[in-house]
Chain A
Amino acid sequence: MSGGFVDRHFKILAPLPAAVFVVVMILFPVIYTVFLSFTNWNLTSGNPLQVVALRSYGRVFREPRFLAAVARTFLFTLLAVGVETILGTALAVLLRRQFAGKGLVKLLLLLPLVAAPVAIGISWNLFYDPNIGIANYLLHQIGLGGLKWIYDSTTVIPSLAIVDIWQWTPMITLIVMAGLAGLSPEPFESARVDGATDSQILWRVTLPMVLPTIYTAMILRSIDGLKTFDIIYAMTGGGPGYASETLNIMAFKYSFEYFRMGQSSVLLVILFLIVLLFSLGIVRLQRLSEG
């Protein structure tokens, strides 16, 4: 009876299609990318693929553009996720009390998270426009001079980070709010009985207890931050010059604009290793919190 067969081997058969899909669509491509990183394959040259050991790595590492992109990737992530974590946590603590319209605020928090990043990025280009943008208008209103925002190499990374912060701070808030909701009330009650003030409770009880959740939220955001593509590509395409070119953007250009597949694979392997390191961090943290 075939039903009996499925029943006996359910444990293997049920997850099999999904597992095969992931192996075929991810594992093989990733292995292929790693292989290509040891070649000098260039799709436009017409030359056959040649295995050159680490020579493509050497060429990429000697490229000043590469080291700048690595530094920029970390700078962008640090800036964006740092501010997001502080603001997001503060907001979660702020939203802890009950107040009229809390439901509405919680809905508002979701809006940036579900809006297409490309649409958001392009719209912020209008806000940032040095001549007609609302950003400079607001600066003028409070008596400051205008900035060139994404159109200047010194301000482009913070300007992009602001968009990321606007869009993703609510993510940290939602996660920390869920973490706060799961805390047991006893430590708070006993602290209050002991006569602790609100700010003492916040700094000595609430925040330490919710810290594991904050860490996890931070790592999740960092992984996405390192991979940020949509807003950067849509807003600046990595420019002006290479001033906002992160590893992901650089790899995209090497693959789909210059067709230097070998070197692009090197970039991808490096980006991949950086993100994998963070991903393993998450798994480790979750194990720790599970005890």
Chain B
Amino acid sequence: MKQRLAGRILASTLIFLVALVILFPFFWILTSSFKRQVDIVASPPRLFSFAPVLANYVRVFAEQNFPRYFLNSTVIGATSVAASLLLGLPAAYSIARFRQRRLSVFILVARLLPGISFLMPWYILFSRLHLMDTYVALVLSHMLIVLPVVVWVMSSYFASIPVEIDESAMVDGATRQRTMLSLILPIAGPGIATATTLSFIFSWNNFLFSQVLSMEKTRTLPIAVYNFVSYAEVDWGAVMAAAVAIMTPAIILTMIFQKYVVQGLTLGAVKG
């Protein structure tokens, strides 16, 4: 029994350490965002002994075009999620009900392949069509991250809904599309919440596509954060404030939809 207790204490200690390791970088980013440069470069590092200032946030939001990038990220994320739901929901329903396995693998491969292998051709194509730095180009490219997530999450969610529900509706004379729209979609709410949350976060965090396809007009937050380092001779306080600004919405979404985020992330790796 004594051994049991010792094991339990050891386990608790380890878990506490893990939590500390996960949290510390966030803690450091957050506190640094309220520090003046002197406090940031101070040695030994100042954990709590500094006078917090809002100057970094003021610099980020007032002097840079940050609100605009914030809006761009939101619009591009929301539009690409909405468009992907429009394309992805019928596809996912069809994959689930007619077991179109090859199609699901095909769409899944899209998520697994390296982005640059399509990015380069798009770059050429979008330049020719004068679509660089347009919302069209950004939304289309973000849909490539979003659509596979939607199809993947939703096809397994639809598959978990008993077929009998569809069948009884169709026996009563409803068409497939009516069955899907007015019967199945309303009960697929949790699945849609999973797909929406997860894919919006993926779009929100995407760096590569925006880095190549956007310029000033459609620039998204990840690029803005990155540019802070190159332009502002590493103004660490501002960089940290920008990092807080980009991470906060994703973290809030995750706290609200925690269960769905976990389901979405672990889906596919575990069957059942």
Chain A residues with CB under 8 Å of chain B are 3-4, 6-7, 10-11, 13-15, 17-19, 21-22, 25-26, 28-30, 32-33, 36, 91, 94-95, 97, 99, 104-120, 122-127, 131-132, 134, 137, 166, 170-171, 174-175, 177-179, 182, 198, 213, 216-217, 220, 223, 226-227, 229-230, 233-234, 248, 251-252, 255-256, 261, 264-265, 268-269, 271-272, 275-276, 278-279, 282-283, 286, 289-290
Residues on A with C-beta less than 8 A from B93 are 14
**Which residue from B32, B106, B250 sits with its C-beta under 8 Å from A114?**
B250
Cα distance, A282 to B177, chains bound together (Å): 33
Instruction: Check B175–A6 contact: CB distance below 8 A.
Output: yes
Instruction: Check A26–B40 contact: CB distance below 8 A.
Output: no
Q: If A25-B140, A91-B18, A118-B226 touch, does A123 touch B258 (CB 8 Å cutoff)? A: no
B206-253, CB < 8 A from A: 207-208, 211-212, 221-222, 225-226, 228-229, 236, 239-240, 242-243, 246-247, 250-251, 253
Instruction: Check A119–B246 contact: CB distance below 8 A.
Output: yes
The contact string, 1 if C-beta is below 8 Å from chain A, for chain B 38-50, is: 0011111100000
Instruction: Check A116–B221 contact: CB distance below 8 A.
Output: yes
Residues on B with C-beta less than 8 A from A107 are 254-255, 258
Instruction: Check B243–A119 contact: CB distance below 8 A.
Output: yes
Instruction: Check A132–B41 contact: CB distance below 8 A.
Output: yes
B1-36, CB < 8 A from A: 7, 11-12, 14-15, 18-19, 21-23, 25-26, 28-29, 32
B71 interface residue (CB < 8 Å to A): no
Instruction: Check B247–A115 contact: CB distance below 8 A.
Output: yes
The segment from B58-66, B119-127, B185-193 that touches chain A is B119-127
B62 CB to closest chain A CB (Å) equals: 20
A-B contact pairs, 21 of them (CB 8 A): A6-B177, A14-B90, A15-B91, A25-B143, A26-B113, A26-B118, A33-B117, A110-B258, A111-B251, A114-B205, A114-B253, A116-B205, A122-B243, A123-B25, A132-B40, A220-B269, A234-B226, A248-B114, A264-B120, A283-B108, A286-B271
Cα distance, A288 to B240, chains bound together (Å): 46
Q: If A117-B205, A234-B207 touch, does A21 touch B94 (CB 8 Å cutoff)? A: no
Residues on A with C-beta less than 8 A from B180 are 14
Instruction: Check A18–B107 contact: CB distance below 8 A.
Output: yes
Instruction: Check A272–B117 contact: CB distance below 8 A.
Output: yes
Instruction: Check A275–B114 contact: CB distance below 8 A.
Output: yes
B19 CB to closest chain A CB (Å) equals: 6
Residues on B with C-beta less than 8 A from A36 are 120-121
Instruction: Check A108–B19 contact: CB distance below 8 A.
Output: yes
Cα distance, A106 to B40, chains bound together (Å): 31
Instruction: Check A17–B91 contact: CB distance below 8 A.
Output: yes
B161 interface residue (CB < 8 Å to A): no
Cα distance, A105 to B234, chains bound together (Å): 33
Residues on A with C-beta less than 8 A from B212 are 256
Cα distance, A124 to B211, chains bound together (Å): 20
Q: If A114-B201, A116-B250, A134-B45 touch, does A166 touch B21 (CB 8 Å cutoff)? A: yes
Instruction: Check B222–A116 contact: CB distance below 8 A.
Output: yes
**Which residue from B113, B147, B236, B239 sits with its C-beta under 8 Å from A272?**
B113
Instruction: Check B110–A115 contact: CB distance below 8 A.
Output: no
**Which residue from A11, A271, A286 sits with its C-beta under 8 Å from B94?**
A11
Residues on A with C-beta less than 8 A from B176 are 6-7, 10, 14
Instruction: Check B113–A279 contact: CB distance below 8 A.
Output: yes
Residues on A with C-beta less than 8 A from B44 are 137
* Chain A: CB-nearest residue to B20: A108
The contact string, 1 if C-beta is below 8 Å from chain A, for chain B 83-124, is: 000111011011100101001011111101111111111111
Cα distance, A181 to B142, chains bound together (Å): 33
Cα distance, A100 to B221, chains bound together (Å): 37
B91 CB to closest chain A CB (Å) equals: 4
B51 interface residue (CB < 8 Å to A): no
